[in-house]
Amino acid sequence: MQSNGAVCVSATPVNDIPSPFTVTPGFLLAAFATVPDPRRRQGTRYHLAAILALALVAILSNHVSILGIAQWGAEAAPALRHALGFPPGTTPRQSTLQRLFAKLDPDGLIGVLSGACERIVPVPATRGSQGVALDGKAQRGRRAADPTAGVVHALSAFCHDYGIVLSQAPIEHAPTKAEAELTVAPEVIASLDWHQRVLTGDALFCQRALCQQVVDAGGDYLLLVKENQPTLCADIRLLFAPPDPSVPLTDRREATTLDHGHGRTDDTRHLIASSDLVGYLDWPGHAQVFRLERTWTEKGKAHHVVRYGITSLPPSVADAARLLAIKRAHWQIENRLYRPKDTALDEDASLLHKGRGPDIMAILRNLALSLLHAQGIDTIAAQLRHFSSHPEEAVAFVATFSPQNA
């Protein structure tokens, strides 16, 4: 490694003693150059950093399959291939990519890219100012092709405000969703700096050990509570619906939002927060509980749902309005990550089902979306079409990307 942070890697076969090309941006391509290569040095034709860069550029250019990546490389202008670190006249074929991705260790790639993505996100300034959603996703096409595949294939930690995947973990076979996600949740949590951050998640992650892990790491949590924690849920429900309704809460703070859209009208969310159970609940870091009531009308039918939750954020840090905002922001992981992965990047339609290949492609899709979001781009499909017509811009986007927070 050079003193200026640039990384030299070979652009042609190792045994050909080529002149090296230099990864000068000191960020993304340099990060790729540190991913452990599972191949033997002898006979290796393309540097792993060049292949990963090619795959990422191709995905950003709307070539979202293994075949599409190989075709993009074969048809790219010589100058673009050279910029990515390939020797003149050749790029890897589909079969080469499939064999490599099947052997590549997802954990090694995740570790490098998670560190890079952490550098993109501005450091949160105050306690509870940055929400991080934890949630799992399956690839439906992979499940259909392999009946033995688990119900969830990856767990991601997603920054609400910036739309960036901070960490992720592939999930091996597990018979139930709960077992699948809870198996790797401690690993994902341990990979992040939780200072000033808030973990958000559904009731599955309302586990004593996970809450303690986040609090011990200097962070906070805001989680729903359901029947998987029956005593905790019953205590919170009883607080907001006591046998004697004439006895008011000592601490009662409220917030309401009203929305319209997506086929729903009069979509009202009403949150009541209270610290009355502090000192009573035996739960790590507990500072407030809340009751969230939602009513809305869809296709002429009225709907009504009540949920309960718990958080380590004290009232001085997060009032009722802030709790409601954090809770709603959790679903950014669905709207800004999962939906574009399936609609724009065709994850569910992928024909790659075996070995480590699906995990590697999922990681690269997460990275592509994270980079676009880091640049303020949310019109994903339109941007992919633009890069498809302007491949030189896609190469420049990857080859020169540098985080503002580095």
Question: Residue 240 CA to chain centroid, in angstroms?
Answer: 34
Judge whether residue 316 has pLDDT over 80: yes
d(C-alpha 112, C-alpha 278), whole Å = 41
pLDDT band of 177, cuts 50, 70, 90: low
Instruction: Identify the burial level of 156 via C-beta atoms within 10 angstroms of its C-beta, where 0-12 means exposed, 13-18 middle and 19 or more buried.
Output: buried
DSSP type of residue 15:
G
Match 């190989």 to its residue by tokens: 70
The reported pLDDT for the residue numbered 27 is 73
Judge whether residue 85 has pLDDT over 50: yes
pTM for this predicted structure: 0.87
304 phi and psi angles, rounded to 5 deg: -150, 125
The reported pLDDT for the residue numbered 175 is 63
d(C-alpha 23, C-alpha 396), whole Å = 13
Contact between residue 158 and residue 133 where contact means Cβ atoms under 8 Å apart: yes
Contact between residue 55 and residue 82 where contact means Cβ atoms under 8 Å apart: no
Q: Supply the DSSP string of 196-209, one letter for each residue.
A: TEEEEE-GGG--HH
The reported pLDDT for the residue numbered 19 is 29
Q: Are strands 130-137 and 164-170 parallel, antiparallel or unpaired?
A: unpaired
224 phi and psi angles, rounded to 5 deg: -75, 155
The reported pLDDT for the residue numbered 288 is 98
Judge whether residue 135 has pLDDT over 90: yes
Q: At a CB cut-off of 8 Å and minimum separation 6, what does 43 contact?
A: 13, 15
| Residue 45 C-beta-side C-alpha neighbours within 13 Å | 10
130: left (phi over 0), alpha (psi -120 to 50) or beta: beta
Structure-block tokens of residue 146 = 């392999």
Judge whether residue 132 has pLDDT over 70: yes
d(C-alpha 54, C-alpha 58), whole Å = 6
Distances (CA, A) of 364 to 312, 341, 345: 34, 11, 11
Instruction: Answer with the residue of higher pLDDT: 54 or 375.
Output: 54
d(C-alpha 121, C-alpha 100), whole Å = 30
Section 135-161 average pLDDT: 74
d(C-alpha 138, C-alpha 246), whole Å = 47
The reported pLDDT for the residue numbered 263 is 78
Contact between residue 223 and residue 310 where contact means Cβ atoms under 8 Å apart: yes
DSSP type of residue 194:
-
Q: At a CB cut-off of 8 Å and minimum separation 6, what does 200 contact?
A: 131, 132, 133, 134, 160, 221, 222, 223, 326, 327, 329, 330
Q: Are strands 130-137 and 21-23 parallel, antiparallel or unpaired?
A: unpaired
Section 192-200 average pLDDT: 97
- The region of weakest confidence among 309-318, 329-338, 340-349 is 340-349
Q: What percent of the chain lies above the pLDDT cut of 90?
A: 65
Structure-block tokens of residue 203 = 């009731």
d(C-alpha 292, C-alpha 290), whole Å = 6
Contact between residue 39 and residue 102 where contact means Cβ atoms under 8 Å apart: no
Domains of the chain (ranges; CATH) run: 7-104+375-399 (no CATH), 109-338 (3.90.350)
d(C-alpha 329, C-alpha 257), whole Å = 13
Q: At a CB cut-off of 8 Å and minimum separation 6, what does 163 contact?
A: 332, 336, 337, 369, 370, 373, 374, 378
pLDDT band of 22, cuts 50, 70, 90: very low
167: left (phi over 0), alpha (psi -120 to 50) or beta: beta
Section 199-218 average pLDDT: 97
d(C-alpha 139, C-alpha 112), whole Å = 23
pLDDT band of 13, cuts 50, 70, 90: very low
AA letter at 273: A
Q: What does the pLDDT look like over 256-290, one tens digit per residue?
A: 999 887 778 889 999 999 999 999 999 999 999 99
